[in-house]
Amino acid sequence: MMKKIPVLLMGCGGVGRYLLQHIVSCRSLHAKMGVRLRVVGVSDSKSLVVPIDVLKEELNDEYLSEVCRVKSTGSPLTTLGGLGGYRVVNDPESRSETKALEELLGKSTGLAVVDCSASMETIELLLKAVDLGCCVVLANKKPLTSTMEHYDKLVLHLRRIRHESTVGAGLPVIASLNRIISSGDPVHRIVGSLSGTLGYVMSELEDGKPLSQVVQAAKTLGYTEPDPRDDLSGMDVARKALILARLLGKRLIMDSIKIESLYPEAMGPGLMSVEDFLQNGIVKLDENIEGRVKRASSNGCVLRYVCVIEGSSVQVGIREVPKDSPLGRLRGSDNIVEIYSRCYEKQPLVIQGAGAGNDTTAAGVLADIIDLQDLFP
């Protein structure tokens, strides 16, 4: 008997598209595992595509490939039009349509609502999904770093939420931490380099390249957030740190985190467009960071954007670390997380590897969905 997991995907950018491609290319593997993923809806910022009869139909693989093709050209989902058997629902109706889909499937077949957007606007739909008994899988960190009230509601049914890709992309950071927590081993310190973008940027700066050039390259490689200032401000790392801290039971909010930004407030999102920042703003930062890299080098050190969680303190910012240290040896988009607990007191548990990229992130999301299979008929 084949288990069927209906999937509603919110967000069809770099990560979302890779996820759809992985779902299609893993069909035979999943069949051997006795599970089938039925994609019953895909949304972007403006619309939702769904089969006319979601209980019986799904978006077939040919259509999913077409969705990926259209979105990779930068076009909205509306361009697809309503091909035979499918409907495109535009804003604002797409939100009520999403809720109706959650209601219908949440109570019958079950539904995995997968958030691969980078938006705050999905929170309402996710909370509704949780209320209706749906499962939730997140690559998007924003819902988990909203208010404590939102956080508590999202994680109310721990078995029904998965968010491995929110920290370290496909790396098993959340899973490892959950295992330590559930064994009663108290975690007292987490130190890490949690940004693929900033890891890549820092190691490329060491090779003498200018900041403006390497940030653009990180964006092209799919490491950055849609607005790279989300990475350069330290906000993306702060979100990951907050997710880890909350997992440890710390009732913290974003304002409690000390965050160092790589750009001045005058270049912030409210005052400059992304395009203007990348074309004209960031070059003004090249000289200063080059000086910092050289000073660190003269001390036998390199710069790393480091996150430290200890007690009730969470800090993220640039640190000079010895070249010949685990953090100093980190290259490219790799992340490293060191977890210190009673069992891992002197020798921390270390998780290291590719910490960003659409492919590896989508793989983490797919593994999360498959991990929920026991909850589906």
Q: How far is the CB of 179 from ligand LTNE7NMQ (least distance, A)?
A: 22
Can you spell out the DSSP letters for 24-60? Answer: HHTHHHHHHHTEEEEEEEEE-SSEEEEESSTTT----
Distances (CA, A) of 183 to 178, 256, 327: 9, 28, 28
Contact (CB, 8 A) for 168 and 194: yes
Q: Which of 164, 177, 227 is nearest to 197 (CA)?
A: 227
| Conformational region of residue 75, where left means phi above 0, alpha means psi within -120 to 50, and beta covers everything else | beta
CA distance 258 to 319: 13
Catalytic annotation present for 240 = yes
Say if residues 66 and 80 touch (Cβ distance below 8 Å).
yes
Residue ranges in 226-265 that form contacts with ligand LTNE7NMQ under rule CB under 6 A: 231, 236
Distance of closest approach, residue 241 Cβ to ligand LTNE7NMQ, in angstroms = 12
**Which window, 190-198, 247-255, 256-264, 275-283, contacts ligand LTNE7NMQ (CB under 6 A)?**
190-198
Sign (positive/negative) of CA torsion 210, 214, 215, 217? Answer: positive
Binding mask 258-297 for ligand NDP (x = CB under 6 A): ----------------------------------------
Compute the least distance from the CB of residue 328 to ligand LTNE7NMQ, in Å.
19
Q: Given candidates 15, 23, 135, 370, which one binds ligand NDP under the rule CB under 6 A? A: 15
Among 94, 98, 193, 197, binds ligand LTNE7NMQ (CB under 6 A): 197
- Does the annotation flag 135 for ligand binding? no
> Among 3, 21, 22, 76, which residue interacts with ligand NDP (rule: CB under 6 A)?
76
Contact 289, 216 (CB under 8 A): no
> CA-to-CA distance for 114 and 370, rounded, in angstroms?
12
| Residues 205 to 244 in contact with ligand NDP, rule: CB under 6 A | 222-223, 225-226
Q: Which stretch binds ligand NDP (CB under 6 A): 6-14, 55-63, 78-86, 186-194?
A: 6-14
Identify what 231 binds: ligand NDP, ligand LTNE7NMQ, none; CB under 5 to 8 Å per kind: ligand LTNE7NMQ
> In terms of residues, how long is the chain?
377
Tell which one of 306, 355, 358, 370 touches ligand LTNE7NMQ (CB under 6 A). 355
Cβ–Cβ < 8 Å for 263, 233 = yes
Cα separation, 163 vs 143, in Å, equals 11
Residues 154-183 close enough to bind ligand LTNE7NMQ by CB under 6 A: 169
How far lies 238's CA from each of 146, 167, 180, 244, 268, in Å? 12, 11, 22, 10, 17
In terms of CB distance, is 110 or 355 closer to ligand LTNE7NMQ? 355
Catalytic one of 99, 240, 258, 284: 240
- By annotation, the residues acting in catalysis are 240
Interacting residues toward ligand LTNE7NMQ by CB under 6 A: 169, 195-197, 223-225, 231, 236, 355-356
The annotated binding site is made up of: 11-16, 141, 225
Interacting residues toward ligand NDP by CB under 6 A: 10-16, 43-46, 76, 116-119, 121-122, 139-141, 165, 169, 196, 222-223, 225-226, 356-358, 361
